[in-house]
């Protein structure tokens, strides 16, 4: 994780310089601004308990406590778009887009029966009028949120939890996962890919946007915004689980210590024979973090989505809402002419500041997420 953070810092200066955008695109400053504007609706910060630490110094050991808090972090920017390398996030398109396109074309182009570098609104089948045209392919990326690494500035106060993601780091790029994302192997063999009603984004059989499985770029959905949302949900599902048959970097759900440093402060006092005795005092920094588990569809306790492109929203929700009674449907007003879509993925964290050499246990007053 530390290596990824060091690598990402080299890109920060370039990625935070505003670049001219195009239709259906968004820049890093715009992402930060829209994320900040949604903090009160999406963050859901609250004190939830206490942590207990064993604190030892020259004079002996004692138990100390720290406040345990919970809140949602904007972990990832998940984009769904048409053309390989054409991420709507302008700075990512300028830095990682060409590299992704070159790698996918060079390494996998000869292995695939369909063009690697042409995904835009591609449908399966012929051009016959009776042909089913709702099976659409899209590229999808999950990139570390630009605010994720900046949170470390305030974590020392113990009121905010550090995200486990690294800003601008590519956790998933479908162009590099071309075999699984395009050819559905081995995704097509999962039970959820074969049996209707398993892992549906919606309330099956009454209404459903589509299935999480198979987790590929192909979706059967007449409404383009919903098709893009399905792709985003699939990418989030992959990244938040370990050992998946894809090319990606997983996010672990195991508790960990962030910025874990222990130092000794010298405290020289007069001794009994006229000399000085060092009654040293330990100093601590960092926090214990309980990251969220795997993302689940329609489960707010595992993550929520905030649309950035094409319709910036100031609230967070989950995909799969029932819009049968709506005249325009969920996709009304959310269609992008260029076929580009992007969301923030907010995920719930719990943490407490370190107050001793050894973590003993924590006591929760309230369940979190609520």
Domain ranges of the chain: 2-364
Going by C-alpha positions, the residue among 271, 303, 290 that lies closest to residue 75 is 303
The mean-pLDDT minimum among 24-28, 122-126, 184-188, 278-282 falls in: 122-126
| pLDDT value for 60 | 83
Do residues 104 and 116 lie in contact, with contact meaning Cβ atoms separated by under 8 Å?
yes
Task: Using only the alpha carbons of the chain, give its radius of gyration.
Answer: 24
Q: How far apart are CA 180 and CA 210, in angstroms?
A: 19
CA atoms of 256 and 284, how far apart (whole Å): 16
User: Is residue 198 helix, strand or coil?
Assistant: coil
Q: Mean pLDDT for the chain? A: 84
Q: What is the pTM of this model?
A: 0.85
SS3 264: strand
Q: For residue 179, what pLDDT band results from cuts at 50, 70 and 90?
A: confident
pLDDT at 19: 40
Residue 6's pLDDT is: 45
What does the pLDDT look like over 75-118, one tens digit per residue? Answer: 999 999 998 899 999 999 999 988 888 777 776 666 655 556 55
Instruction: Give the least confident one: 144-148, 156-160, 246-250.
Output: 156-160
Kindly state the tokens that stand for 124: 């399966």
| Confidence band, pLDDT 50/70/90 cuts, at residue 119 | very low
Q: Residue 156's CB: how many other CB atoms inside 10 A? A: 13
Cis peptide before 360 (omega within 30 of 0): no
CA distance 111 to 364: 52
**What's the chain's length in residues?**
370
Structure confidence at residue 268 as a pLDDT band (50, 70, 90):
low
Q: What is the pLDDT of residue 325?
A: 84
Question: Which residues fall within 8 angstroms of residue 295, CB to CB, at 6 or more apart?
Answer: 233, 236, 237, 239, 240, 302, 303, 345, 347
From the number of C-beta atoms within 10 Å of its C-beta (0-12, 13-18, 19+), residue 195 rates as exposed
Q: In this model, does residue 261 exceed pLDDT 90?
A: no
**DSSP-derived secondary structure for 7-46:** HHHHHHHHHTS-----TT-B-HHHHHHHHHHTHHHH---E
Model pLDDT, residue 126: 45
Furthest C-alpha separation in the chain:
101
pLDDT of the residue at 9: 42
The answer to whether the CB of 69 falls within 8 A of the CB of 43 is no
pLDDT band at 266 (very low <50, low <70, confident <90, very high): low
- Which residue from 165, 175, 166 is spatially nearest to 80, judged by alpha carbons? 175
């Amino acid at each position: 994780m530390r290596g990824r953070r060091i690598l990402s810092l080299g890109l920060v200066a370039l990625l935070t310089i505003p670049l001219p955008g195009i239709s259906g695109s968004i820049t890093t400053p715009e992402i930060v601004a829209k994320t900040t504007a949604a903090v009160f609706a999406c963050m859901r910060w609250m004190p939830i308990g206490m942590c207990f630490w064993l604190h030892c110094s020259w004079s002996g050991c004692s138990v100390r406590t720290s406040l345990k808090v919970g809140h949602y972090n904007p972990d990832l920017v998940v984009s769904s778009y048409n053309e390989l390398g054409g991420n709507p996030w302008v700075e990512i398109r300028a830095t990682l887009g060409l590299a992704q396109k070159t790698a996918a074309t060079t390494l996998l182009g000869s292995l695939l029966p369909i063009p690697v570098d042409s995904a835009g609104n591609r449908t399966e089948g012929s051009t016959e009028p009776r042909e089913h045209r709702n099976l659409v392919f899209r590229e999808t990326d999950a990139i570390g949120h630009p605010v994720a690494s900046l949170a470390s500035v305030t974590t020392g106060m113990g009121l905010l939890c550090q995200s486990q993601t690294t800003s601008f780091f590519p956790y998933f790029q479908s162009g590099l996962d071309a075999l699984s994302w395009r050819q559905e192997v081995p995704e097509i063999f999962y039970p959820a890919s074969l049996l209707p009603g398993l892992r549906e984004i919606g309330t099956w059989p009454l209404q459903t946007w589509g299935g999480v499985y198979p987790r590929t770029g192909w979706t059967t959905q007449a409404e383009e915004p919903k098709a893009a949302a399905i792709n985003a949900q699939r990418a989030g599902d992959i990244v938040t689980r370990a050992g998946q048959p894809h090319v990606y970097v997983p996010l672990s759900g195991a508790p960990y210590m962030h910025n874990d440093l222990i130092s000794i402060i010298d405290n020289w006092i007069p001794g009994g024979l006229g000399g000085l005795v060092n009654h040293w005092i330990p100093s601590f920094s960092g926090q214990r973090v309980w990251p969220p588990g795997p993302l689940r569809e329609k489960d707010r306790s595992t993550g929520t989505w905030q649309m950035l492109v094409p319709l910036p929203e100031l609230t967070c929700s989950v995909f799969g809402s029932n819009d049968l009674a709506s005249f325009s449907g969920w996709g009304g007003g959310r269609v992008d002419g260029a076929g580009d879509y992007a969301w923030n993925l907010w995920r719930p964290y719990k943490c407490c500041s370190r107050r001793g050499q050894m973590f003993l246990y924590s006591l929760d007053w309230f369940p979190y997420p609520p």
